[in-house]
Amino acid sequence: MRPILLPDPPSLSTGVPDIFEQGGAQNVVRRAVVIGNGFPGSENQCIGLVRALGLANNHLLYRVTRPKGGINEWLHWLPVGFHKKLDFILRHIYLYSRLMLGSKQSKYISSVPSENGGNVGLASILEADVKSIVNMARQTYEKDGPLVVIACGRDTISIASSIRRLASENVFVVQIKHPRSHLNRFDMVITPRHDYYPLTLEAQEQVPRFMRSWITPREPPQDHVVLTTGALHQIDYASLRKAASAWHDEFAALPKPLVVVNIGWPRSNCRYGADLAKQLTDSLLNVLATCGSVRIALSYKTPAKVSRVIFKELGDNPKVYIWNGQEPDPYMGHLAWGDAFVVTADSVSLISEACSTGKPVYVVGADHCKWKIAEFQKSLRERGVVRSFTGFEDMSESWSYPPLNDTAEAATRIRRELAARGWSLRS
């Protein structure tokens, strides 16, 4: 197969690794704060953007965590601040009731641990991260310059918006994924274009009229909203070259073409089961003659009924290797050495990362998807970035497209907005 040449990456500055570098000018951004929610998919987008900004060695990670266990597993639909407040109150009511009943556990009532440990009051549960980051941004501004704050996910919205409200002159706040309302709470919002699918006539026709006012977003993107094709991530020219070197001994000798199959898991807008697994294995068996080798990676969330079909149909085939989930994870090696990819339609992240390589990407199960995920699939097909996996392909055929470059393009927009404010990234 003809090798695909990736475009040169944007110039990245490594700089001095100390996040609090001495003697910097006030208009130079040299550090970042990431606000994550504990989910790898969301935090991966933040770290990818930090890398594209050249701040990979100069960032701190904070997490917004929710109470866990018991009734809390049923309360994740609540705003995270209210959820923590409710958990705090419920735990103290429980301990107080035990005290009134003369429980031996009453001695612990003065020491109720927070999600992050230690003794806490109500204010610190809701505001600790905000206060810490705001104080850091203000107190180190003279010495270290402005702070870029990058957050992703629903639970981070209140934290990120509060930081901007309290330290707007010291920070530039970026929210990844659409926050649903009040977008002016952030300096920039980065979200996939398909998040605006509910505004289209096609989408409106799918929603009963009385429910349309509840569907977000309700208005077109504003000037500070950056629309991407897919998800942000950490895959770029440099990371692929590094992975190619790290995995050379395992992949270099494999028969070509190497076809990589990435299997995700069903979502609310892309449901499937053993039926899609059987369709996938039948199609792979059909194209196996044109494959040199096949590597299959299942997600830790892939349902057992799907994985059982994969192992039953392909587990004993000498051309096929199925990763069993043991470390080290070969995912980066797959991206670097794979000649073509087959990906289940449910995962925007898996597809976006595969499409950043410029190599052939085939999608299976797009007909199981609806709403915004279906719109995402449609946009990729129209751009010629992906093709449907039918089982009649010649996998040795090479075809290419301009690789998705959403992360680098988003970083360019941030640089432009910083420049408009009179700030620049360290060079």
- 153: in domain: yes
**188-206 mean pLDDT:** 95
- When pLDDT is cut at 50, 70 and 90, the band that residue 377 belongs to is very high
In single-letter form, the type of residue at position 274 comes to A
Let me know whether 388 and 412 are in one domain. no
| CB-based contacts of 318, cutoff 8 Å, min separation 6 | none
Let me know whether 278 and 392 are in one domain. yes
- When pLDDT is cut at 50, 70 and 90, the band that residue 116 belongs to is very low
Let me know whether 304 and 199 are in one domain. no
Maximal C-alpha separation, the chain = 77
- When pLDDT is cut at 50, 70 and 90, the band that residue 416 belongs to is very high
- 221: in domain: yes
Let me know whether 214 and 162 are in one domain. yes
Let me know whether 342 and 360 are in one domain. yes
Let me know whether 38 and 185 are in one domain. yes
CATH number at residue 189: 3.40.50
What is the predicted pLDDT for the residue at 326?
A: 87
**Cα-Cα end-to-end distance for the chain:** 39
What is the predicted pLDDT for the residue at 108?
A: 34
Q: Give tens-digit pLDDT for 202-211.
A: 999 998 888 8
- 102: in domain: no
- 112: in domain: no
- Residue owning tokens 């995270």: 80
- 82: in domain: no
- 342: in domain: yes
Let me know whether 295 and 269 are in one domain. yes
**32-46 mean pLDDT:** 92
Let me know whether 260 and 385 are in one domain. yes
Q: Give tens-digit pLDDT for 318-356.
A: 999 999 898 899 999 999 999 999 999 999 999 999 999
Contact 405, 356 (CB under 8 A): yes
Let me know whether 271 and 330 are in one domain. yes
Annotate 67-102 with b (16+ C-beta within 10 A) or e (fewer): beeeebeeeeeeebbebbeebbeeeeeebeeeeeee
- Cα(251)–Cα(248) distance, integer angstroms: 5
What is the predicted pLDDT for the residue at 82?
A: 65
- When pLDDT is cut at 50, 70 and 90, the band that residue 83 belongs to is low
Asked whether residue 152 carries a pLDDT value surpassing 80, the answer given is yes
- 270: in domain: yes
Angle among Cα 92, 95, 97 to the nearest 5 degrees reads: 105
- When pLDDT is cut at 50, 70 and 90, the band that residue 94 belongs to is low
What is the predicted pLDDT for the residue at 87?
A: 60
- When pLDDT is cut at 50, 70 and 90, the band that residue 110 belongs to is very low
Structure tokens, 149: 């704050």
Structure tokens, 182: 């009040």
Let me know whether 221 and 257 are in one domain. no
Asked whether residue 77 carries a pLDDT value surpassing 70, the answer given is no
As for how many domains the chain has, the answer is: 2
pTM of the model: 0.84
**114-125 mean pLDDT:** 34
- 208: in domain: yes
What is the predicted pLDDT for the residue at 73?
A: 66
- Containing structural domain, residue 135: 28-66+123-229+408-425
Let me know whether 41 and 188 are in one domain. yes
What is the predicted pLDDT for the residue at 96?
A: 66
Asked whether residue 16 carries a pLDDT value surpassing 50, the answer given is no
- When pLDDT is cut at 50, 70 and 90, the band that residue 64 belongs to is confident
* Peptide bond before residue 217 is cis, with ω within 30 degrees of 0: yes
What is the predicted pLDDT for the residue at 379?
A: 97
Q: Give tens-digit pLDDT for 258-312.
A: 999 999 999 999 999 999 999 999 999 999 999 999 999 999 999 999 999 999 9
- When pLDDT is cut at 50, 70 and 90, the band that residue 102 belongs to is low
What is the predicted pLDDT for the residue at 321?
A: 98
Structure tokens, 388: 């449907």
Contact 53, 148 (CB under 8 A): yes
CATH number at residue 365: 3.40.50.2000
What is the predicted pLDDT for the residue at 76?
A: 65
Structure tokens, 57: 């060695």
- When pLDDT is cut at 50, 70 and 90, the band that residue 370 belongs to is very high
**157-165 mean pLDDT:** 95
Asked whether residue 125 carries a pLDDT value surpassing 80, the answer given is no
385 CB-contact burial (10 Å; exposed 0-12 / middle 13-18 / buried 19+): buried
- Mean pLDDT is lowest, of 116-125, 167-176, 348-357, for 116-125
In single-letter form, the type of residue at position 417 comes to E
Let me know whether 349 and 419 are in one domain. no
CA 240 to chain CA centroid, Å, is 18
What is the predicted pLDDT for the residue at 93?
A: 72
